[in-house]
Structures are given as C-alpha cells and as structure tokens.
Amino acid sequence: MFFLVAAVVIALDQFTKWLVRSNLGLYEAWPHDGARISILHVVNSGAAFGILQGQTVFLIVTSLLGLGAIVLYYIYPPMEHGIIRLALGMQLGGAIGNLIDRVRLGEVTDFIHVGSFPTFNVADASISTSIAVVLIFFAFHEVETARQSEEPVGAPTAIEPPHDAIGDD
C-alpha cells in the first residue's frame, strides 16, 4: 500500500503539472474572472510558501535526505499502523513529485490557487494532508494511550455467584 499510494501521488502530481504547463502560459489563470479558487500557472524555485528562493541544490539535497528518512521509517517502523503507512506513502509521493520538478526544471510548478493562500500543487497538498493525518493520529493515539493507562491492569471484575448458591432450592 505504501508504494502504491506514493506512485499514485507521483503520477497525479506530474500529470496535473504537465496539463498546466501545456495549457496555460506562465502566470495565466483559469477561469479568468478572478474566481476565489482557480488554476494559476506559477513556478517556485524555493520551498513551501516561497522560502529559500533559488536554493535548488540545497533543496534537492534536503529532499533526498527527507526521502531517505521516509524510507527508513518504512523499513524500521516504530509503529506499523495502516494510517501511518498511508501518510508516509503520501509524503514519499509528494516529495518525489516536487523533486522531479526541481531536478528536471530547476523549479516546481504550482497551480492550485485558493484566495490569498500561497499557490500549491498536488505534491504539496499530499505532503500537507499527510502531516495533518499523522498529527491527528498521534494526538488521538496519545489520548487513547493515556485513557488505557488510567484503567487498572488486572483489576478484579465482578464475579457472579454460582447459580445454585442463590437459594432457589
């Protein structure tokens, strides 16, 4: 499932970026009427939210390190829950999708424009969503672990007396 999710994210990310690059000029938007949500063809030579502009080599190296960390976490997981595996697959796919752009083009194609939020792409959405999933999972996991630790282990349970001891002679 991990590699399948990553492959789907990579394919969807690269396909949507190709569609945008093929059909819209740089800084061209669709629809053109200033809609709150639109497809806006922009490029980003930096990281999330436009930080580290022009630092392509640094971003490629850190992306490779991040990919290594994700793969190591997959190989030697401290927790093998399916949701964590799914989220890691989303992170891997998103990281590879943006890495492909950085290596091929020297910048990442972004196109999903929502109001005043920075423009992003499928890879970015996949990474952000997976991080939120992991944080929510661990928040609930910690609550559940804390709740379970409050229950006494091996506490006696109510035992019903044998049927014949009730006195229905």
Instruction: Please identify every residue annotated as catalytic.
Output: 110, 124
- Tell me how far apart the terminal alpha carbons of the chain are, to the nearest angstrom: 63
**Angle subtended at Cα 132 by Cα 1 and Cα 115, rounded to the nearest 5 degrees:** 115
Residue 109: per-residue pLDDT = 96
Residue 1: per-residue pLDDT = 86
Report domain extents, the chain: 2-123
Residue 71: per-residue pLDDT = 81
The segments of the chain whose pLDDT lies below 70 read: 46, 48-56, 77-79, 142-169
Residue 110: per-residue pLDDT = 95
pTM, 2 dp: 0.74
